[in-house]
Amino acid sequence: MVKYIDEFRNPNIAKSLSQKIHEIMPDSKINLMEICGGHTITIFKYGIKKLLPQNLNLISGPGCPVCVTDNSFIDSAIELSHLQNVIICSFGDMLRVPGSHSSLINEKSKQSDIRICYSPMDAIEIAKNNKNMEIIFLGIGFETTVPLIASSIISAKSEGLKNFSVLSGHKTMPNAMKALLDSEDIRLDGFICPGHVSAITGLDLYKIIAEKYKIPCVVSGFEPIDMLESIYMLVKQIKENISTVQNQYTRVVRNQGNQKAIEIMNRVFEPVDAEWRGLGIIPGSGLKIKSEFQQFDANQKFDIPLIEKKENPGCICGNIMRGINTPLDCKLFKKICTPQSPQGACMVSDEGTCATYFKYSL
């Protein structure tokens, strides 16, 4: 496996792809957006920008699940953690995200029972072993994680578990891309589309972007050679004035996606309007648990008080997620906002744009 990975980090191939990009690069400025936080990490971790023409600009998009989660979701999770006999289960990253007044990690250090899980199936185990407690799993993430959480709900139902529920903050990708293009805040010339989301969804969902908005889309893998090749494919489309959906990540992504995973997802979840940090409410961009499974929907099961939402006025995470600003434009960046003391969500997750800038750039 390791030898296989090394082929995707081969310096000679990297150099030759870099040359090819330079050769076909038009004189005008090109803005490409990488949607996925995993791609942002690869770009910085391998120093890919240094191999690209100066007029080729890479913009980080809203593809880090922790970062796009709105304050109101954190506030609700904190309120739930204050209830008697409740155990909150969450992916680790969520704990440090600041909400309006506190973070889950702060509440954990007080008295709330909040546990880190690597999979919703761990939460199911906790539910089985703690029958007198209510176990609430914080469901976040895109199409990549949704099938897993859907199957945990299905197995909870088939096993007759009564003390397990999910607070769904799930988001889906294509409507957010459309919202970005509709807002016209920035001019985008191409999308580097998320590899793992596409492994589930397939390529069809990007068709509207390529056909209606005329923006080229390339689904990319996560190794440096993958990304350089994807960038080459995008620049080539732009140069030839065409816009189609192409799949660079053929070793993982099938054009039709993973039908089984889509089926599981659709069995449990249905689209709903969702609030994104920085992007506001985007119609049909979230997922809610269907009524057939409503006993596992924490929103239905518990009466969650509404908290007035508050954000740090200096934090520009929203603009960063829309690609309007970079972390270097933020007054808080590296001063009071650091990975040890994050003021905004983009500094929390490893995939967050601010955390990546902090970790890898000079």
Partner 1 sequence: MDNKITKAHGSGGIFSHNLIKEVFLKYFDNPILNQLRDAALLNQINGKLCFATDSHVIRPLFFPGGDIGKLAVAGTVNDLAVCGAKPLYLSCGFIIEEGFPISDLEKIVASMQKTAQDAGVNIVTGDTKVVEKGNADGIYINTAGVGKIPDNISLAENTITPGDRIIISGTIGDHEAAIICAREEFKITGNISSDCNIVNSLTEKLVKNVPGLRIMRDPTRGGLATILNEFADKQNFGLRIYEDKIPIKNSVRGLCEPMGFDPLYMANEGKIVIIVSNNDADKALAIMKDHKIGKDAKIIGEVIEEPKSRVLLKTQIGSDRILDMLTGEMLPRIC
- Residue 333 near partner 1 by CB under 8 A: no
* Closest C-alpha to 248, from 209, 210, 216, 218: 218
* Residue from 54, 111, 118, 313 binding partner 1 (CB under 8 A): 118
- Residue 6 near partner 1 by CB under 8 A: yes
In sign, the C-alpha dihedral spanning 32, 36, 37, 38 is negative
Q: Which CB, 98 or 224, lies closer to partner 1? A: 224
Which residues, 269 to 308, sit near partner 1 by CB under 8 A? Answer: none
How many residues sit close enough to partner 1 to count as binding (CB under 8 A)?
Answer: 30
3-state helix, strand, coil in the chain (%, to 5): 45, 20, 35
* Residue from 33, 48, 173, 337 binding partner 1 (CB under 8 A): 48
Is residue 82 within 8 A of residue 104, CB to CB? The reply is no
Alpha-carbon span 334 to 233, nearest angstrom = 35
Name the minimum Å distance from CB 105 to partner 1: 11
One-letter identity of residue 200: I
**Strands, sheet with 56-63, edge to edge from the N-terminal-most edge strand:** 56-63, 30-36, 190-193, 217-219, 245-247
The stretch among 19-27, 41-49, 135-143, 293-301 that binds partner 1 (CB under 8 A) is: 41-49
Q: What is the DSSP string of 174-235?
A: HHHHHHHHHHTSS---EEEE-HHHHHHH-SGGGHHHHHTS---EEE--SSHHHHHHHHHHHH
* Residue from 55, 255, 259, 361 binding partner 1 (CB under 8 A): 361
* Residue from 15, 131, 162, 334 binding partner 1 (CB under 8 A): 15
- Residue 10 near partner 1 by CB under 8 A: yes
Is residue 254 within 8 A of residue 247, CB to CB? The reply is no
* Residue from 36, 46, 127, 315 binding partner 1 (CB under 8 A): 46
The stretch among 179-187, 237-245, 306-314, 335-343 that binds partner 1 (CB under 8 A) is: 335-343
Q: Which long-range contacts (CB under 8 A, 24 or more apart) does 257-261 make?
A: 257/198, 257/199, 257/200, 257/201, 257/202, 257/203, 257/204, 258/147, 258/199, 258/200, 258/202, 261/147, 261/200
Name the minimum Å distance from CB 95 to partner 1: 10
Name the minimum Å distance from CB 341 to partner 1: 10
* Residue from 26, 47, 280, 283 binding partner 1 (CB under 8 A): 47
- Residue 122 near partner 1 by CB under 8 A: yes
Task: Copy the structure tokens of residue 206.
Answer: 């990007």
The stretches of 48-132 forming alpha helices (DSSP H) are 71-81, 104-110, 120-129
Q: Which CB, 155 or 299, lies closer to partner 1? A: 155
Q: Which CB, 216 or 342, lies closer to partner 1? A: 342
Q: Which CB, 145 or 237, lies closer to partner 1? A: 145
Q: Which CB, 302 or 360, lies closer to partner 1? A: 360
Q: Which CB, 270 or 350, lies closer to partner 1? A: 350
The stretch among 40-48, 167-175, 207-215, 232-240 that binds partner 1 (CB under 8 A) is: 40-48
The CA-CA-CA angle for residues 132, 133, 137, to 5°, reads 145
* Residue from 99, 147, 224, 352 binding partner 1 (CB under 8 A): 224
- Residue 14 near partner 1 by CB under 8 A: yes
Alpha-carbon span 43 to 215, nearest angstrom = 21
- Residue 54 near partner 1 by CB under 8 A: no
Is residue 146 within 8 A of residue 265, CB to CB? The reply is yes
Binding site for partner 1 (CB under 8 A): 1-2, 5-6, 9-11, 14-15, 44-48, 50-51, 96, 118, 122, 224-225, 338-340, 350, 358-362
